[in-house]
Structure formats: structure tokens, C-alpha cells
Amino acid sequence: MAWPTEALWLLTGSAAFAAGVLNAIAGGGSFLTFPALVFAGVPPLAANATSAIAVSPGYLGSTWGFRSELQALPRSLLQREVVVAATGGLLGAGLLLVTPAQVFAGLVPWLLLLATALFAAGPMLAQRQSGQGQPAWRLPGLMVVAIYGGYFNGGLGILLMALYTLTGESRLHTVNALKNLNSFVLSLLSVLAFALAGAIVWPQALWMMVLATAGGWAGARLAKRLPGAWVRRLVIVTGLVMSAVFFTRL
């Protein structure tokens, strides 16, 4: 039975708003937008590209919601990280367009599980290196994660939160702010490659971009009101669920 067109638009729009909220808090919004697009009749490859561009503005909304945390950080730090994230996003998108995804797809659940474990252990590890400043591998680590995000967006938020937790960011709202800023930068540039390749279904993409942005702003406000321990548990649970989903696809 074919679903009414209005119902499919409502489905994709609701998924985009919820994805914006989830990405602002923990990450994993693509697991809502991609299935919604496939259910709406978009072919899987086009659904992947459309999902990527649909959730990317949501990062802008959530970044704006965390603007006070970003303003408290050194401008030079933000500039360096934005450049690294942008470069990594472009490299990852280039890899996606020239290499088969089957081999990398086999690594995805293991990467997500590792990132979740690192995030869970982050406070203990960060405490051990307190007073030592930011480790030298922070920017190289961001480059690796940005390449991953440009190639495959799923679980990007978990990886970024794990990276920042392990490199000494003890304030969870600051971790979330950096995660959202760099996710927006690298996603914006990586989806440009998808657009140039003609892989995006624009009517659904534009509709979902608006609602994902609103969801990202709402999610940022919600994340700042929730106790830090609750947000941390939500991130860990989200990472475990995403890992399980990808393991079932192997």
C-alpha cells in the first residue's frame, strides 16, 4: 500500500527535527534520516547523500546554542580546529567518491564501539593527564575523525566527543560545543562533493535541512539543561545502540 505524499513529507520532516536534537546532544541523527528517506522511496545511495546534507545545518543550530561555550575558548584554537576539520571533511568525501564502501563498512561498528568505550573511560583518562595541557595528538586525531566524518557520517558525534574527552576537555558542554562546530564545518564541505556529483534529492533535502536546523537549536538548549551525567549516559547508550545496529549489517 502506497503511503500518501503528505505522510511521507511528515515522516522525513519529523526524522530531520529529531535528528537535529539527537546530534546536538549525542550524535547519531543519520540513523533517523537515512531510514526515513529510504522508506519514502529514495534509493539508498541518494538517501545517504541526502541524509548527510539534511543533518548538516542542524549542527549550525546546535553550534549557535552553544555559542557562549565557544566564545570562552581561545580564538586561535577554534581557527586551527576549523581548518583541520574542513580539510579532513574534504579528504573523506574524496575518498568516498573514489573507493568502494564495503571494506570501510566492515570497520564502522568496531570504530563506533571503540569510540564509545573511549568516551566512557574519558573522565578517568583525562584525570590522569590533568595539568599536562592538551596532548600533541589532538589536531592529528581531529584530522582522522574529520576524514571519517567526510567519508561516513554515522557516529561522528560519538568520535568527536571521545576525542575531546581524551584530550583534556573536562566540561561536557564545551565538548558538545566543539563537537557541533567541527561537525558543521566538515559536513558542509563534504556534502558539497555529493552535490557536485548529483547524488542529492533536493526537494527532500531542503525540507529536512530547515527542520534539522530547528532541531539542532532545540537540542542544544535541552543538552544544556540536562545534568551532565545524564548527557554522558545518553551518549554511551547511543554509541552502544549504533554499534549494535551496524554489527547486525555485517
What integer pLDDT is reported at residue 182 of this predicted model?
94
Total domain count, the chain: 1
Which spans in the chain are helix H? 5-25, 30-39, 44-65, 67-71, 75-98, 102-128, 138-151, 156-166, 172-196, 202-225, 228-248
pTM (two decimals): 0.77
Burial 67-85 (b: 16+ CB within 10 A, else e): eebbeeeeeeebeebeebb
Residue 50's domain comprises 5-248
What integer pLDDT is reported at residue 108 of this predicted model?
73
What integer pLDDT is reported at residue 127 of this predicted model?
63
Low-confidence stretches of the chain (pLDDT < 50) are 1-2
What integer pLDDT is reported at residue 1 of this predicted model?
41
What integer pLDDT is reported at residue 123 of this predicted model?
67
